[in-house]
Structure 1
């Protein structure tokens, strides 16, 4: 089967990243079976609180599907994003995620499922 359907995926429970003081949540929904060039996709939620610092070890794109976030590229641009905004992060990009309330993004990254 070449197509998989993930009904109501946006409503799934997104697991905490379990970083003390940081209200960040991430859950892979699925992944490809390509061992040489895996692609994983899922949801990332950032809630008000301390920011999340993260360095990408893979390429990723993200679309904001609800709420808002502020995303800073360390040493570069800071953007306030909301529903419908799309971002691309190159491997090696150092970022800081925060939110004044809460934001949910759908991501697709070139990594194996469960690897951050």
Structure 2
């Protein structure tokens, strides 16, 4: 049985520490990798990155794709519009947003989360140019 092996993609320094907020905004996303999946069941995109939010106005979102968020630092409040329940997410908390989910993100301080979504790159991470590791052998 012969397998076609595919090399890993490694992105060096894919940190969240230096993601700037756009002018006059209190939240942003920074996508750092996206692929068109090879899954035969339902091919789609898989994109991952960081979500950053600071205190300020709430940020509404209506999902047309699936997303997971894992909180790394701070706090991120999520109002689930469908139920009216306000969830306070802190480091170690995980949330899944279904297609059709409608939420409002906010925070009293700041928060940072890692996310994976089923959509192509929307906002590239501003500090990763040239950081994808070469596919050559060591």
TM-score under structure 2 length normalisation: 0.73
Counterpart for residue 29 of structure 1:
32
Superposed CA offset, 1:47-101 (max 9, x none): 1010101101101111001110110110312210111100000011000000000
Where do 1:27-106 residues align within 5 Å? 27-34=30-37, 36-76=43-83, 77-106=85-114
Counterpart for residue 110 of structure 1:
118
Q: Does 1:4 align with 2:12?
A: no
SS at match of 1:9: coil
Q: CA deviation at 1:15?
A: 4.9
The 4+ residue runs of structure 1 with deviation greater than 6 A are none
Query: For 2:22 and 2:82, how far apart are their aligned partners in 1?
Result: 25
TM-score under structure 1 length normalisation: 0.86
Q: CA deviation at 1:8?
A: 3.0
Q: Which has the larger radius of gyration?
A: 2
Query: For 1:17 and 1:93, how far apart are their aligned partners in 2?
Result: 25
Unaligned runs of 5+ in 2: 1-5, 124-138
Check the 8 A contact 1:14/1:44 in 2, yes or no. Answer: no
Q: Which has the higher strand share?
A: 1
**RMSD between superposed Cα atoms in Å:** 2.0
Unaligned runs of 5+ in 1: none
Check the 8 A contact 1:60/1:110 in 2, yes or no. Answer: yes
Q: Which moved more, 1:103-112 or 1:74-83?
A: 74-83
